[in-house]
Amino acid sequence: MNALTAHRTLADDDSHLRLFVSSITDYAIYMLDPTGTITSWNAGARRFKGYTENEIIGEHFSRFYTPEDRASGLPQRALKTAREQGKFEGEGWRVRKDGSQFWAHVVLDPIFDDRGQLIGFAKITRDITERKNADDALKASEQRFRLLVQGVTDYAIYMLDPKGHVTNWNTGAQRIKGYLANEIIGEHFSRFYTPEDRAIDFPKTALGTAAREGKFEGEGWRVRKDGSQFWASVVIDPIYDDRGKLIGFAKITRDITERKNAQEALAQTQAALFQSQKMEAVGQLTGGIAHDFNNLLTIIVNNLDLLTRSACDPRDTRLIESAQRAAERGAKLTQQLLAFSRRQPLQPELNNPNALIKGFEPVLRRACGETIEVQMSLAPRLKSTNIDGPQFETGLLNLVVNARDAMPDGGILKIATSNVILNEKGCSGTNLKPGEYICVTVTDTGQGMSSDTLGRAFEPFFTTKEVGKGTGLGLSQVYGFVTQSGGHIKIDSAPGKGTTVIMLLPAQEGNEDEEEAEDQSGDNRQIRQSAGTVLIVEDEPEVLDIACEIFDSLGYEVLTAVDAIAAIAVLKSAAQIDVLFSDVVMPRSMSGLDLAKEARNLRPGIRILLASGYPISTLPAQGLPDDVSFISKPYRWTELADKLRQLRSKP
């Protein structure tokens, strides 16, 4: 190829390139001289800037900039950046011929000759207003969504990465879970789960379910920053990008603890109603059966009596007597059935449960046997209640026998009384009305009951004892007596955790746990002034009974314990104890001397009197408080009274 041909070919290439550039309409492509003056203009520049070629060539390119950009020197900085760095690229508002503005993407390249001399700039501008508007709309939408999410306070709404790390945090999450955004972002969301859920890798399972099935939804306990727990409703949704790749999860959590509590309360109320209706139906049935059975027994018993008069053969007499004994047992069963159905004839009168329990205590202790430790915790100033005293004692004996049978290897049985006031919430699930009640509890450390057994415990003839060891009517008798007396009874128990039977009886004013004395004329009433409360600790029942009688006659409110361990429990729980009267030698590991030291630690102001059958001089009294007094056994009423007066006189 000769020089002429090469020149023509180069000229043709330049012509083609110029034609190509001038025909482009989507880009403004034009040249500037080194000062920024326009030297060329293509169709694209003419289309979206509005100037013809003869209108704009020779003009400075800064006229396309806004007044604010020109004032700040942006056109000159753009040329300088292109010259020094080899390129300028940016976006901004530009001005058309008609004054309207468009958002432009700009590239400015310097042009050098063969000697490296700057001869101008190539400028390419594209109108991307539509894209900017779309981007702005998207940003505005995202901002509105962000404000919406952040403004939600009843739901914890936050994002997780594919591995479960928290990537953002809204106000609701902060309120419900207690973490600030800077405390939790980047942490794994499993910290909100309980240790039990984490141990079985439940958080990972939830994410796997969401990724596999498109959603995970459930309820469960979650943990706040302070360690407290709440019942949560949780939804986890997977998030994918445009190519279908998992980029994270959206997690929404709501605290529904109040709703759960309300549902549980409703379920408990419904269960209580069902139980009440069931017991009422069973009571009506058993009451009818007992009534009819009594009629049959009347016929049987009277006929047996008539046969007795004419029986001559000793064999016939034995058979009739055996039948009479069976009829008597049948009559007792019907009485228990009538008690359950609340149709037994009661003779209620004002009674103080403490007085009934104290009077019946020897029987209760004998019923327990030697392997059961009986503890009494009778509240001072216990109010009275309008009940049938013998029926109360029968019910208490039934409870004690049941407790004994639940502790075949021995244990502790505690009978306690207290004054209680029930509000609306405390009466929930019962037929009681708010007010004052007497609470009598019988607690054992025995085998406990399952939930199924608890649900049937008061049913007549239901028993878990072996055949021949129980009729199944003991608890039903207590249930009937308490409900017929206007009270309520319930059982708290669990397998291996013992059982507590709680009886609530309406409190009545008058006849509190103290005795009243009337003079013979009836003109003046003298109420016994209490000398205080004494705790008597004695392991011999007969000696304990005598001591109780003496202190009661001296005007003391009496609490009892059979050993030092039980006494310490009373010292810790009783409202007031003025005097500790204890035997020195007692079973178990702690003596009366040790008890005296512990009592003074627990109650610094208590007066202490110790009794012993051994000579006082032989007792190891080292370490005892100086004001502890001793009395030798056997002691008389007058000696004990003198010792107590001496105790009261000490500072």
Q: pLDDT for 352-398, tens place per residue?
A: 999 889 887 887 887 787 788 889 899 888 999 988 777 788 778 87
In a domain, 273, yes or no: yes
- The alpha carbon dihedral of 490, 494, 496, 497 has a sign of negative
One domain, residues 637 and 534: yes
CATH at residue 413: 3.30.565.10
- Using an 8 Å Cβ cutoff, are 326 and 300 in contact? no
Residues 100 and 196 in one domain: no
Q: Which residue has the tokens 């001038």?
A: 22
- Of 198, 223, 255, the residue that ends a domain is 255
User: For residue 142, is it within any domain?
Assistant: no
Tell me the C-alpha distance between 286 and 337, whole Å.
6
Residues of the chain by 3-state class (helix, strand, coil), percent to 5: 45, 25, 30
Q: Tell whether 251 and 277 lie within a shared domain.
A: no
Q: What is the pLDDT of residues 10-65, one digit of tens each?
A: 444 445 445 545 556 678 888 899 999 999 888 888 888 889 888 999 999 999 99
In order of 38, 44, 103, 641, the CA distances from 53 in angstroms are 10, 11, 22, 130
In order of 436, 596, 641, the CA distances from 648 in angstroms are 35, 17, 11
Same-domain pairing of 359 and 483: yes
End of a domain among 129, 162, 184? 129
94-98, 301-305, 419-423, 535-539: segment of lowest average pLDDT: 301-305
What pLDDT, on the 0 to 100 scale, is given for residue 3?
46
**For position 354, what pLDDT does the model report?**
92
Residues 424 and 328 in one domain: no
Containing structural domain, residue 451: 349-508
- What is the spatial distance between Cα 313 and Cα 301, in angstroms, rounded to a whole number? 19
Q: Considering 189, 224, 255, which residue would you say is the last residue of a domain? A: 255
In a domain, 422, yes or no: yes
Q: Is residue 95 part of a domain?
A: yes
Residue 549 lies in a domain: yes
Sorted by sequence, the CB contacts under 8 Å of residue 532 that are 6+ apart come out as 556, 557, 576, 578, 579
Residues 121 and 205 in one domain: no
The C-alpha atoms of residue 622 and residue 603 are separated, in whole angstroms, by 20
Total H helices, total E strands in the chain: 20, 22
pLDDT score for 267: 66
Question: What was the pLDDT predicted at 89?
Answer: 92
Q: How confident is the model at residue 340 (pLDDT cuts 50, 70, 90)?
A: very low
pLDDT given for residue 629 in this prediction: 84
Q: Which residues contact 165 (CB under 8 A, 6 or more apart)?
A: 186, 187, 188, 189
CATH number of the domain at 558, please.
Answer: 3.40.50.2300
Classify residue 385 as exposed, middle or buried by CB count within 10 Å of its CB (0-12, 13-18, 19+): buried
Tell me: the pLDDT tens digits for 564-604? 888 888 888 888 888 899 888 776 668 888 888 888 888 88
How many independent structural domains does the chain possess? 5
Asked if 378 and 491 sit in the same domain, the reply is yes
Which of residues 223 and 454 earns the better pLDDT score?
223
Q: Do both 401 and 542 map to the same domain?
A: no
What does the alpha-carbon distance between residue 575 and residue 250 come to, in Å, rounded to a whole number?
57
Confidence of residue 331 (pLDDT cuts 50, 70, 90): low
pLDDT tens digit sequence for 428-466: 777 788 889 989 999 999 888 887 777 677 765 556 555
State whether 232 and 274 are in the same domain.
no
Q: What are the tokens at 438? A: 């007497």
Q: What is the pTM of this model?
A: 0.36
75-125 pLDDT, tens digit each: 999 999 999 999 999 999 999 999 999 999 999 999 998 888 999 998 988
Q: Angle, nearest 10°, between helix axes 314-340 and 257-310?
A: 160
Among 180-189, 254-263, 364-373, 641-650, the range of highest mean pLDDT? 180-189
Residue 146 lies in a domain: no
Mean pLDDT computed over 202-231: 92
321 and 464 part of one domain: no
Sheet with strand 88-95: strands edge to edge = 28-32, 118-127, 101-112, 88-95
Q: What is the mean pLDDT of the chain?
A: 78
pLDDT at 262: 77
d(CA 538, CA 560): 8
Count of positions (residues) in the chain: 651
Q: Is residue 139 part of a domain?
A: no
Q: Is residue 262 part of a domain?
A: no
- Angle (nearest 5°) at CA 247 between 244 and 251: 115
What is d(CA 163, CA 247) in angstroms, rounded to the nearest whole number? 10
The DSSP bridge partners found for residue 124 are 29, 107
Residues 122, 48 share a domain: yes
Q: Check if the beta carbon of residue 610 is closer than 8 Å to that of residue 629.
A: yes
d(CA 220, CA 197): 9
Cβ 11 vs Cβ 2: under 8 Å: no
pLDDT for position 7? 45
CATH code assigned at 122? 3.30.450.20
For range 250-255, the mean pLDDT: 88
In a shared domain, residues 465 and 440: yes
